[in-house]
A and B are shown apart, each in its own frame.
Chain A
Amino acid sequence: MKQTPDIKPTATALLVAPAAILMFGVFVLPFLFLVVLSFWSQVPGSVGIVPGFTLANYARIIGDGYYLGGLWTTLWLSGLVTLLCLVLALPLARWIVLYAKRSKGLLIGLCILPLVCGALLPTLGLVNLLSPLGFINGALKSMGLIKTSLPLLGNIAGVSIGLVQAFLPLMILPLISTIERIPHDYEKAAMSLGATRLVVWRRVLLPLMLPGIVAGSLLVFCASLTAFVTPQILGQGKVVTFASLAYQQAAMVLDWPFASALGMVMLLFLALAGLLGALVSRGLGRRT
């Protein structure tokens, strides 16, 4: 169907151009520059950069167990966080769509609160929640359930809790919009035809929710893979993630070509995750 425009093509182009030029120049171009920069090298002991073509930055990542270890930790941590977010977001999103009537908008607003508060402020609260004298340990101790504090900071447990908390909204929002599009009768129809609850979920609800699940998982995975504020603070330097390595190289060591190469590796894994997501949704789309 050809849609008729309400304003002239030149006017449209003029309206769109400023934002488009800005986003291309300030957002897209740096990514292209990153590719180039990752093959340049750093003058040792200065911020000078030597243009050229060297694979030294990449060789350093592959050859050094420190960086590979960080990458491995980050990958499985991101996978774990994605899974946890999915498990927590599914019931919440479904409940908000099906049962929250007048409070729906407010609930969605509360769900995005961790997003608009940025990475830092919730993390400040998390430190006080998880620290040895903090809320959880204090509450458990005063109830007499534990004698010594549980170690919740400076380890994977703390970092995972922080990341799940920070990125849960990224899973909730796409799930809400897919669940909203599933007609209520489908579930009833399947049940009346004799399907058990489990079968309804496996054969009807989950396949229909799949686009939201894939979109949300991708967002959470990408966000966790590149997070550095939460891991640095809750990991207290003991949990080394890939993005915090890149951040250190860029902000403290000031080796920008090497930081760019680390960034390129992150982009590579994000692209792989995106590809996997596309394959999953296409494969399952064909089956149903």
Chain B
Amino acid sequence: MTSRFSKAMLLAAVLAILLFLLAPILVLILSAFDSGNVFRFPPRGLSLRWFEAAFNHSEYRSSLWISTVLGLLSTAIAVGLASLAAFGLVRGKPSYRLAMEVLLLAPLTLPLVVWAIALLSIYAQLGINGTLPGLILAHVTITMPFAARIMIATFGEIDPNLEAAAKSLGASPWQVVRRITLPLALPGLLSSTAIAFLVSFNDVVVTTLIAGAGWITFPVRTFSRLRTEGIDPTTIAIGAMIVAFTILVIVFGQRLFQLSRRL
């Protein structure tokens, strides 16, 4: 077996695996343009009617609005707290750094559905079940590990001598942060904001348990409809737009600030 042949085989396998990985997303986008009530392949016709329906559907519109507000507020809090903590851990080098990283990254390794069951009963005891503050707390928690990971990597890459130099030239601590640290950390801040927002916006596992009736996010509404009435083509159209937006964020994020480097 020549090495060129085996390389070609490997490349073919890799392309097939990538296709498998992305197939659901590609089919989602394709089926949004199908004109029928039920997607079938090959499609009988292509149309934009489901996109039109999506923009006219008030329930979905309010759900999307809720998802956006929840995502923005949670992301702002999570990225803020994660940045402070990451800066402290990287620059302060405390003896508890490892323990703290484990704590901040815990939601990546522990099962969120089990946690959400417990959170649901605690929220019920506290009377904050189905309230916006309760939801925000939960979303800050699930986005924190992504923000913390990226920010720890970001501050780790910034040379502390640059900050020390600015200080020795007479800059106040606030000036050092504003003129040196923040500009250097900007790519990391943008990466963690993008990823945290997407994670919050698309979450269904935790939100479906604790959202209650007042704050039904788009994924929660779609999930409950899907279980009771099957696929609604309008959801497919909205889903396709969300996925397209996500792809744009990742591609541009990669181009502009090397999104994947700190993951």
Q: Are A124 and B93 in contact (CB under 8 A)?
A: no
Query: Is A139 engaged at the interface, CB distance under 8 Å to the other chain?
Result: yes
Q: Establish whether residues B263 and A6, one from each chain, have CB atoms under 8 Å apart when the complex forms.
A: no
Range, interface on chain A: 35 or more
CA distance A110 to B239 in the complex (A): 17
Q: Which of A225-245 contact B (CB under 8 A)?
A: 225-226, 228-229, 232-233, 243
Interfacial residues, chain B to chain A (CB-CB below 8 A)? 10-11, 13-14, 17-18, 20-31, 38-42, 81-82, 84-85, 87-89, 91-94, 100, 103-104, 106-107, 109-122, 124, 137-138, 140-141, 144, 148, 160, 163-164, 195, 198-199, 201-205, 208-209, 219, 222-223, 226-227, 231, 235-236, 239, 242-243, 246-247, 250-251, 253-254, 258-261, 263
Please give the distance in Å from A41's CB to the nearest CB on chain B. Answer: 13
Q: Give Cα A282–Cα B27 distance, bound, in whole angstroms.
A: 43
Contacts of A118 in B (CB 8 A): 199, 201-204, 219
Question: Do residues A226 and B113 form an inter-chain contact, with CB atoms below 8 A?
Answer: yes
Q: Which residues of B contact A56 (CB under 8 A)?
A: none
Interface pair B22/A37, CB less than 8 Å apart: no
Question: Across the interface, do A226 and B114 meet the contact criterion of CB distance under 8 Å?
Answer: yes
Q: Which of A58-66, A88-96, A181-189, A205-213 lies at the binding interface?
A: A88-96
Is the beta-carbon distance between B195 and A134 smaller than 8 angstroms? Answer: no
Q: Does A272 reach chain B (CB closer than 8 Å)?
A: no
The residue that A116 contacts in the complex, of B198, B231, B235, with Cβ under 8 A, is B198
- Residues 103-119 of chain A, each 1 if its beta carbon lies under 8 Å from chain B, else 0: 00111111111101111
- From A19, A31, A251, B118 is in contact (CB under 8 Å) with A31
Q: Closest Cβ of chain B: how far from A274's Cβ, in Å?
A: 9
> Chain A residues in contact with chain B, CB under 8 A?
3-9, 11-16, 18-20, 22-24, 26-31, 33-34, 37, 47, 49, 88-89, 91-92, 95, 99, 105-114, 116-129, 131, 133-135, 137-139, 142, 165, 168-169, 173, 219, 222, 225-226, 228-229, 232-233, 243, 246-247, 250-251, 256, 259-260, 263, 266-267, 270
Chain A contacts for B112, CB-based, 8 A:
226
Determine if A15 and B23 form an interchain contact, defined as CB atoms under 8 angstroms apart. no
Cβ contact within 8 Å between A106 and B254: yes
Nearest Cβ on chain A to B258's Cβ, whole angstroms: 6
Partner of B92, one of A12, A29, A260: A12
Decide if B204 touches A23 in the complex (CB within 8 Å): no
Task: A169 to B250: give the CA distance in the assembly, Å.
Answer: 15
Chain B residues in 8 Å Cβ range of A259: 117
Q: Are B84 and A16 in contact (CB under 8 A)?
A: yes
Contact A133 B41 (CB under 8 A): yes
Contact status B119-A112, CB under 8 Å: no
> Contacting A246 at CB < 8 Å: which of B24, B81, B117, B231?
B117
Q: Is A91 in contact with B14, judged by CB distance below 8 angstroms?
A: yes
Q: Which residues of A contact B11 (CB under 8 A)?
A: 95, 99
Closest to A118 in B: B202
Assembled-state Cα–Cα distance A180/B234 (Å): 43
Q: How far is the CB of B46 from chain A (nearest CB, A)?
A: 15
Cβ of A260 and Cβ of B117 under 8 Å apart? yes
Bound-state Cα–Cα, A27 to B143, Å: 12
Closest to A131 in B: B39
The listed residue with most B CB atoms (<10 A of its CB), out of A19, A95, A112, A119, is A19
CB contact under 8 A between A125 and B31, given known A24-B103, A246-B117, A266-B114: yes
- Answer whether A112 and B106 are a contact pair too, CB < 8 Å, given A22-B81, A37-B118, A229-B205: no
